[in-house]
Amino acid sequence: MNQSLVSIIVPVKNRSELFVKAYSSLIAQTHRPVEIIVVDDGSSKEEFLKINNAVKHSEKEPEVFTQIIRNTSKGAASARNLGFKNSNGVFIQFFDSDDILLPQKLENEINILKKDSTLDFVYSRAQYIDENDALLNEFWGTELTGTSTDYFNLSYQTMCPLYRRSAIEKYGLWDEDLLINQDWEFNIRYLLRGAKCQSLDKVHSYFRVHKAGNIGKTDRKPDIIYSKFLGHKRIYTEIIEKKKDDSIINKLYLKRFIYIFLVTATVGTPQQIKEQEHFIASNFDGKISFFLSLFRNKGIADMVLRLYKLSGRSQVPK
C-alpha cells in the first residue's frame, strides 16, 4: 500500500452541475497520489451520464485514480461506508458532492499527520459559500474547547477533517440508521472514544449552503425527528457510560431532548412519545415526567415549541 495514498470518498445523487465543480477541486489537489471513489446513490440516467463524463475527462491526470460505484438510494452514510470499504488509501477524506476543496488541503494536512504519528485526524477550516459561489462570512472549524461541550457542539463539517485509515477502522463507520445529523453523530462519537486530533487554523475548503434548506420544516417529518432522537440517545448514552457527563453537558442535552420531545408530541406516534418521555425521565430528574405529560397534547406542545424556539433553546445541530 502506498503510504501517501489518499482516498477521497464522494457520495453523489444527481446535482451533476455542482458535482463537476466539486470534482474539479479534487483533481486540482497539489498532493499526489489520490484515489477518488465516487459513490452514485441513485442518480437519474441523464445525471449519471454527466457525472460519468466528468470523471472520464480526468483519466489522463497523473496519479489520480477514479472509480464510480453504483449504490441504490441508501443515503449518504451508506454511500460513505461503501466507498470506504472499496478504498485503498492510508488517509481518508470524506467529501460532499456540492463542496469545494482548496488546492493545498490534502498536502498540508498530510504533512501534519506524518509529523505526529499519534494523531488520528487533522481538521482545517471551511468557509461558507452560497449557490453562486460567493463567499459568506461564516466558517466551520472552530478549535475544540477541551471541555464537555465538545461532546455536544459540532465544530467541523464533513470535508474539514483528514483521517488516518486506522482511525476509521478503530472508531467505526457512519451510522446508517440515521436520516439526519450523521456528521454530528460521527464526529462526536470519535471524540468520545478518544480520537486524537489537531486543528489547523486555515481555510482549506468551501461549504455550500442552499436556499432550499430549512431545518425547521425538516424537523416536522416524523421519521426525521425520531432519527434525531435516536442519534442523540446513542451519543448521550455513551457519554454516561464513559462518565464524561457533568452539569453543563447534562443541561445542554436535556434542553435538546425536550425540544425533540415537543416536536415528537406534534407529529410522532404515541409509542415514540412514550419512549422519549421514559428516556428523559430515566436519565434526568424524574420530576420532569410530570411536565412532559402535560405536553402530550398536540396543541399545548405546539404552543410550547414556538416559545421554546423563540428562546433559542432548540439549537438543532447542522
pLDDT tens by residue, 130-153: 999 999 999 999 999 999 999 999
If asked whether residues 176 and 272 sit together in one domain, one would say no
If asked whether residues 170 and 246 sit together in one domain, one would say no
If asked whether residues 14 and 33 sit together in one domain, one would say yes
pLDDT number for residue 316? 46
Contact 261, 293 (CB under 8 A): no
pLDDT number for residue 213? 46
Residue 188 pLDDT class (50, 70, 90 cuts):
very high
If asked whether residues 103 and 39 sit together in one domain, one would say yes
pLDDT number for residue 59? 83
Q: Answer whether residue 58 shows pLDDT above 60.
A: yes
CA nearest to 36, candidates 23, 52, 47: 23
Average pLDDT score, the chain: 91
Report if residue 317 sits inside a domain: no
Report if residue 16 sits inside a domain: yes
If asked whether residues 196 and 238 sit together in one domain, one would say no
Round to whole Å and give the CA distance between 64 and 215.
Answer: 37
> Which of 9-13, 171-175, 273-277, 288-292 comes out lowest in average pLDDT?
288-292
If you compute the radius of gyration of the chain from its CA atoms, what whole number of angstroms results? 21
If asked whether residues 43 and 138 sit together in one domain, one would say yes
The partner residues of 313 in beta bridges, in order of sequence, read none
If asked whether residues 176 and 284 sit together in one domain, one would say no
If asked whether residues 146 and 235 sit together in one domain, one would say no
Q: Answer whether residue 315 shows pLDDT above 60.
A: no
If asked whether residues 180 and 267 sit together in one domain, one would say no
Three cell numbers written together for 180 = 439526519
pLDDT number for residue 318? 41
Report if residue 315 sits inside a domain: no
If asked whether residues 156 and 275 sit together in one domain, one would say no
If asked whether residues 131 and 252 sit together in one domain, one would say no
If asked whether residues 83 and 150 sit together in one domain, one would say yes
Structural domain total, the chain: 2
CA nearest to 17, candidates 60, 56, 46: 46
Domain boundary among 159, 192, 208: 208
Q: Answer whether residue 217 shows pLDDT above 70.
A: no
| Max avg pLDDT among 113-117, 254-258, 289-293 | 113-117
Q: What is the pLDDT of residues 97-110, one digit of tens each?
A: 999 999 999 999 99
Report if residue 228 sits inside a domain: yes
pLDDT number for residue 234? 98
- DSSP codes joined into one string, the chain: --TT-EEEEEEE-S-HHHHHHHHHHHHT-SS--EEEEEEE-S--HHHHHHHHHHHHTTTTSTTEEEEEEE--S--HHHHHHHHHHT---SEEEE--TT-EE-TTHHHHHHHHHHH-TT-SEEEEEEEEE-TT--EEEEEE-PPP-SSGGGGTS--S-TTSEEEEHHHHHHH----TT-SS-HHHHHHHHHHHTT--EEEEEEEEEEEE--TT--HHHHHTSHHHHHHHHHHHHHHHHHHHHTT---HHHHHHHHHHHHHHHHHHHHHS-HHHHHHHHHHHHHHS-TTHHHHHHHTTSHHHHHHHHHHHHHTT------
The pTM score is 0.91
Q: Answer whether residue 46 shows pLDDT above 90.
A: yes
Q: Answer whether residue 73 shows pLDDT above 90.
A: no
Q: Looking at residue 83, which CATH number applies to its domain?
A: 3.90.550.10
Residue 317 pLDDT class (50, 70, 90 cuts):
very low
Instruction: List Cα–Cα distances, 310 to 259, 261, 304, in angstroms.
Output: 12, 16, 10
Domain boundary among 208, 229, 257: 208
Domain boundary among 150, 182, 208: 208
Domain extent, residue 187, equals 6-208
Q: Answer whether residue 268 shows pLDDT above 50.
A: yes
